[in-house]
Amino acid sequence: MAKAVTGAGAQTGELRRVIGRKVLALFVVGDILGAGIYALVGKVAGEVGGAIWVPFVTAFVLAALTASSYAELAGKYPQAAGAALYVNKAFGLPFVTFIVAFAVMMSGITSASAAARAFGGDYLAEFVSLPALVGALLFLALVTVVNFAGISESVKVNVVLTVIEAFGLLVIIAIGAWALATGEGEPGRALQFREGGVLLGVLGGTALAFYSLLGFEDSVNLAEEARDPARDYPRALFGGLGIAVAIYVAVAFTATMLVDTDTLSSSSGPLLEVVHVAGLSFPPKLFALIALLAVGNTALINMIMASRLVYGMARERIVPAVFGIVHPTRATPWVAILFTVALAVILVSTGDIGGLADTTVLLLLCVFATVNVCVLVLRRDRVAHRHYRAPTWMPVLGAVACVLLALPITGRDAAVYLRAALLVAIGVALWLVNRVIVSRSAGGGTPGPGAG
């Protein structure tokens, strides 16, 4: 969250450029690490078999294609707005810009819902025995209380959370190294694919593994506060992605080497299964706590983001103004918070971890495909300063890859498409309702800001 600045920066409305390349890279890694790897390794194994690392590497390659578009656009337009800004500049169509922004917001809610489902599973069971749905709903209630009370985030908090999340994954990697050194486990499983079609299995696994790499796109919102975004941002983005996937591949190899595929795929806490069978002893309860923190942080950040996006759209009169109401004492957007958590409760009650994660991926794949097109359209818009320019083949392949991964050929369940369509339909309904309200207000002689 940007801090207020004093002096000239405050007068012109500019953010202070204080973030260097190392902190940017750490932010990218911290945004990527979290619920995805802690909760979905088993689900990926269910799709592809023992060769879990293959979908993660494939997902990294595809993510790097889209990351190249974000790197070019963030350097070209170093402003804290992300995909909505690029779509608006490329097409200038308010409705399309709104749908993209709303899809990003909904992806945050579905991601938080998947994390809540993971929170209420096997990791929580190390401490208390509760039905998974009850644990997930209680967690959402806790997130709502914290969100309502108000959150003050800083780079230091992000660093601490990144270190804790990374530490848990390094524990798994250390367990794997010890197992290799002592001859434990079955490394050969890492080359085994599930029967029924290698290509379809890899595609399905990649669609899920892609969820674990999401978060890199959020870092564009720091471009306005980077010291030299044109130079530092691309290096930090690709470096952060590379570090994250290296950790993921090592974790995936360890998991499949020590735990059989069926056990992994049926567990909501797959990395805890690794700790339980490890020859290198590590307290399962401590690891479960680390996992809960990583999963919980993912949900909290996404719910804060989603509620603030709804609030921001309400303040701009893009959605009904009621979502812009702020609590008189807590100074938090309580109506927007209630709206987003209500959607999360419905999603948690009707979906599982895999389905909710897949819905997140589907929504963002559509956004990513659009961003890849935007970078090509905006090549006609010249800017005075130097910036990174992606090789043309990267956004082209990125757009094609995003479209292909969004298609049913990945084996994605029809319920995922229905869920995503209903969520976008909510946005369309809010847009139409707001248009009616603004039109009536303008007709009465009191047009609101942003009307027309």
Q: To the nearest 10°, the Cα dihedral for 304, 309, 311, 316?
A: 160
Examine the pLDDT at 286 and tell me if it is beyond 60: yes
- pTM to 2 decimal places: 0.83
Does the residue 41 lie in any domain? yes
What's the mean per-residue pLDDT of the chain?
Answer: 81
DSSP of 245-260: HHHHHHHHHHHHHHS-
Does the residue 172 lie in any domain? yes
Burial label, 181 (beta-carbon count in 10 A; 0-12, 13-18, 19+): exposed
Alpha carbon 244 to its chain centroid, in Å, reads 14
Does the residue 26 lie in any domain? yes
Q: List residues bridging with 19 in a β-sheet.
A: 226
238-256 pLDDT per residue, tens: 888 898 899 999 999 999 9
Per-residue model confidence (pLDDT) at position 294: 83
Whole-angstrom distance, CA of residue 308 vs CA of residue 336? 7
What CATH number is associated with residue 22? Answer: 1.20.1740.10
- Range in 173-182, 254-263, 293-302 with the lowest mean pLDDT: 293-302
Examine the pLDDT at 136 and tell me if it is beyond 70: yes
Alpha carbon 363 to its chain centroid, in Å, reads 11
Does the residue 73 lie in any domain? yes
Buried b (16+ CB within 10 A) or exposed e, 367-381: bbbbbbbbbeebeee
Whole-angstrom distance, CA of residue 247 vs CA of residue 53? 11
Does the residue 410 lie in any domain? yes
Q: pLDDT exceeding 90 applies to what percent of the chain?
A: 26
Alpha helices for 407-447 (secondary structure H): 414-443
Domain count, the chain: 1
371-389 pLDDT per residue, tens: 999 999 999 888 777 888 8
Residue with tokens 């369309």: 428
- Range in 6-10, 38-42, 301-305, 416-420 with the lowest mean pLDDT: 6-10
69-123 pLDDT per residue, tens: 988 988 788 765 678 888 888 888 888 988 998 898 899 899 989 988 988 888 8
Does the residue 4 lie in any domain? no
410 vs 251: which has the higher pLDDT: 251
The span from the first CA to the last CA of the chain, in angstroms, equals: 30
Query: Residue 31 carries which side chain, given as an amino acid letter?
Result: D
Q: Mean pLDDT, to the nearest integer, of 352-373? A: 92
30 vs 129: which has the higher pLDDT: 129
Pick left, alpha or beta for residue 35 (phi over 0 → left; psi -120 to 50 → alpha; otherwise beta).
Answer: alpha
- Range in 15-19, 112-116, 119-123, 320-324 with the lowest mean pLDDT: 15-19
Does the residue 452 lie in any domain? no
Examine the pLDDT at 410 and tell me if it is beyond 60: yes
For residue 243, what are the domain limits?
A: 16-440
Residue with tokens 């696994």: 205
Does the residue 317 lie in any domain? yes
Per-residue model confidence (pLDDT) at position 394: 95
> Hey, which of 112-126, 232-246, 413-427 has the most confident mean pLDDT?
413-427
Do 49 and 194 touch, CB atoms closer than 8 A?
yes
